[in-house]
């Protein structure tokens, strides 16, 4: 009987993908709800050929050096900021991710947060729970209208387009976007206009962030940017927490510089218990659940398993972050 490759899985994944991993690999699965400490992760993968990681697992050069037999890192996420891809490539380690299957779920979540923040749903729910609802109030809990307003999208990729399509088709919103690349599809299908960042800030009634996190975008929303937005604006972030200076966001929400915010990501993540953002009535914060639908998480698990098994057998990964590894391997 052939020896199965040894792999470490840093969290319990949906059985849709985990079953295949267990069938084809000698898999050790971390069952604790919190991620394995870095030192423990280093120990666990010392003799592994494969690693299934999450965004909460830091995969750096030192960790890779501690796993000389490692062939593949399969990240159960679209993003891969947690992985030093250059270091992995230099060591001939393939890196996979799970793109494509999160688009609709994340766009739905962005709109969910947009609507909840605009119409003060969570605030109203807490008001009711606290027994404060005594009668119908003509001036109580007034929110923002959606019909015919302007949506601003930062990063018109798949998710940004999907959100804009919902807002344009369902609420007849005008769509503006800011991106380093023009989106012919968004401009043709939705009448979207590509504008500079300041124009987007100044004209958007709802501003939703869908851009990558890199050194140029880190902290791109700070005091200056919030001050350029409308006082009635709703800010939504389902991309990455570090895109936003959260102290500046808190100040803007507290002072009424903007109307409300809806966040699925924070910095740090999760927020500290005494984070002042958690005390504000005009912010809705979800625990990074944009992809949390049964269908989406199952699809992610399937891609993750396929990436892992392909990397272990020297095949092309279905979703390959660093395909240049193949050429490197051939040279060696």
Q: Pick the catalytic residue: 28, 187, 203, 269? A: 269
Nearest CA-CA partner of 162 in 144, 150, 175: 175
Q: How many other C-beta atoms lie within 10 A of the C-beta of residue 73?
A: 30
255: which residues sit within 8 A by CB, 6+ positions away? none
Q: Is 326 annotated as catalytic?
A: no
User: Which residues lie closer than 8 Å to 151 by C-beta, 6 or more apart?
Assistant: 163, 164, 167, 168, 173, 174, 175, 176, 204, 205, 206, 207, 208
By the 8 A CB rule, do 21 and 6 touch?
no
290, two tokens: 């944009």
Distance CA 250, CA 248 (A): 5
Q: Is 269 a catalytic residue?
A: yes
**Nearby residues of 199 by Cβ (< 8 Å), 6 or more positions away:** 176
Give the list of residues 6+ apart from residue 332 with CB closer than 8 angstroms, or none. 92
Residue 288 falls in the annotated catalytic set: yes
Select which of 11, 288, 297, 302 is catalytic.
Answer: 288
Choose, from 240, 246, 297, 302, the residue flagged as catalytic. Answer: 240
Please, which residues have CB within 8 angstroms of residue 266's CB and are 6 or more apart in sequence? 241, 246, 275, 277, 285
Annotated active-site positions, please? Answer: 240, 269, 288
């Amino acid at each position: 009987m052939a020896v199965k490759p040894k792999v470490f899985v840093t969290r319990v994944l949906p059985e849709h993908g985990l079953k295949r991993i267990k069938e084809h690999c000698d898999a050790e699965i971390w069952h604790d709800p919190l991620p394995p400490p870095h030192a423990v992760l280093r120990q666990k993968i010392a003799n592994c050929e494969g690693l299934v990681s999450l965004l909460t697992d830091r995969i750096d050069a030192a960790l890779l050096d501690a796993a000389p037999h490692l062939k593949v890192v399969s990240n159960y996420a679209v993003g891969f900021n947690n992985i030093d891809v250059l270091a992995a490539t230099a060591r001939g380690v393939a890196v996979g991710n799970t793109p494509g299957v999160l688009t609709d779920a994340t766009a739905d979540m962005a709109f969910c947060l947009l609507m909840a923040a605009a119409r003060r749903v969570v605030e109203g729910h807490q008001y009711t729970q606290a027994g404060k609802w005594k009668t119908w109030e003509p001036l109580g809990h007034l929110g923002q209208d959606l019909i015919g307003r302007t949506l601003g999208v930062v990063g018109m990729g798949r998710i940004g387009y999907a959100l804009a399509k919902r807002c344009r088709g369902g609420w007849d919103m005008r769509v503006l976007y800011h991106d380093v690349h023009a989106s012919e599809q968004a401009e043709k299908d939705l009448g979207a206009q590509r504008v500079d960042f300041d124009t987007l800030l100044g004209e958007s009634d709802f501003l939703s962030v869908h851009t990558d996190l890199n050194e140029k975008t880190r902290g791109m929303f700070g005091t200056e940017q919030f001050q350029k937005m409308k006082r009635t604006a709703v800010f939504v972030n389902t991309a990455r927490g570090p895109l936003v200076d959260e102290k500046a966001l808190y100040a803007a929400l507290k002072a009424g510089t903007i109307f409300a915010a809806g966040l699925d990501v924070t910095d740090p993540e999760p927020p500290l218990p005494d984070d002042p953002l958690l005390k504000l009535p005009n912010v809705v914060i979800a625990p990074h659940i944009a992809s949390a639908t049964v269908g989406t998480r199952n699809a992610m698990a399937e891609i993750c398993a396929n990436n892992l098994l392909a990397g272990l057998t020297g095949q092309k990964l279905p979703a390959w972050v660093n395909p240049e590894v193949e050429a490197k391997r051939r040279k060696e």
